[in-house]
Amino acid sequence: MKREKVLKINKVGKSYGNETVFRNVSLEVKKGEIISIIGRSGVGKSTFLKCLNRLEEIDSGEILLNGKNIIDYPVTELRRRIGFVFQDYNLFENLTVLENLTIGLTQIQKIEKEKSIKMATNILKEIDLLEKKDKYPEELSGGQKQRVAIARTILMKPDIILLDEPTSALDEEMKESVLNLISQLGKEDMTLIIVSHEISFIQKISDKVYKLNKNGLELEKPKKGEKIC
Ligand SMILES: Nc1ncnc2c1ncn2[C@@H]1O[C@H](COP(=O)(O)OP(=O)(O)O)[C@@H](O)[C@H]1O
Ligand SMILES: [Mg+2]
């Protein structure tokens, strides 16, 4: 079966003032694919992800989501369709874990409260954090916070999830639970774009790995004996 194209990025360029961050970035992402992006610090990986859901605006080229230019989507809809998981979790500190999960469902998706609590409870069971549902983010470990942030994004049923260095703020022990959750998403046919330095992990789970540089994305060839399927 031919998979449908979710995202098409066509010769995109981005500058801050006179400073060109990157130009000529093109990429196609099909439904269910896992694409990883690597590149040195400061090369523009975060900027690139931000351009996809218009946290930053591009200067040239175009980005199509399901065949439609992202500038033609209402921003709220675009950000629901392209979920963003940040390095530093971005949870609401004044809301409990359960409330962090239900707020988008009730306020953006207009799902009624009782149903949203049920959905949030189910996902907390899946990520093994149900007993933390009434805790506040500051009472969680970094790994637990990041799993809640990922769960919050999944609940919005986005077309694509962007993960920007999702484990870089975590120590080795906590990384594992987050990486396990990400590979689980891959198995469940979610479409993911991951920026990460966890090379062996991303080579294992990605369909394609690209390196970002100033002049675009370059496909990384798997090393002999390694499989990027
Ligand atoms: N809001 C901004 N205004 C001006 N320059 C920025 C802004 N955000 C990032 N930059 C610059 O753009 C470049 C790329 O940054 P970034 O996308 O964060 O890189 P990476 O995520 O690959 O480390 C860096 O030189 C950074 O200083
Ligand atoms: Mg970054």
Spell out the residues 6+ positions from residue 90 whose beta carbon is closer than 8 angstroms to its own.
149
Q: If pLDDT is split at 50, 70 and 90, which confidence band does 189 have?
A: confident
**Of 29-43, 150-164, 208-222, which range is least confident?**
208-222
Sheet holding 5-16, edge to edge: 19-30, 5-16, 60-65, 68-69
Q: What is the pLDDT of residue 3?
A: 79
The closest-lying atom of ligand 1 relative to the alpha carbon of residue 212 is: 22
Average pLDDT over residues 73-82: 96
Share the mean pLDDT of the chain: 94
Number of domains in the chain: 1
Structural domain contains residue 228: no
Whether residue 43 has its Cβ less than 6 Å from ligand 1? yes
Taking the model in full, what pTM does it have? 0.94
Return the CATH number at 164: 3.40.50.300
Q: Is 100 helix (H, G, I), strand (E, B) or coil?
A: helix
Is 149 part of a structural domain of the chain?
Answer: no
Does residue 225 lie within any of the structural domains? no
What whole-number distance in Å separates Cα of residue 73 and Cα of residue 81?
Answer: 10
- Give the residue-averaged pLDDT of 65-86: 97
Tell whether the model's pLDDT for residue 226 goes beyond 80.
no
Give the atom of ligand 1 at the shortest distance from the alpha carbon of 56. 1
**From CA 25, how far away is CA 192, in angstroms rounded?**
18
Indicate whether 108 pLDDT > 60.
yes
| Domain around 80 | 5-91+159-219
75 domain-assigned: yes
CA distance 6 to 143: 29
In a domain? residue 63: yes
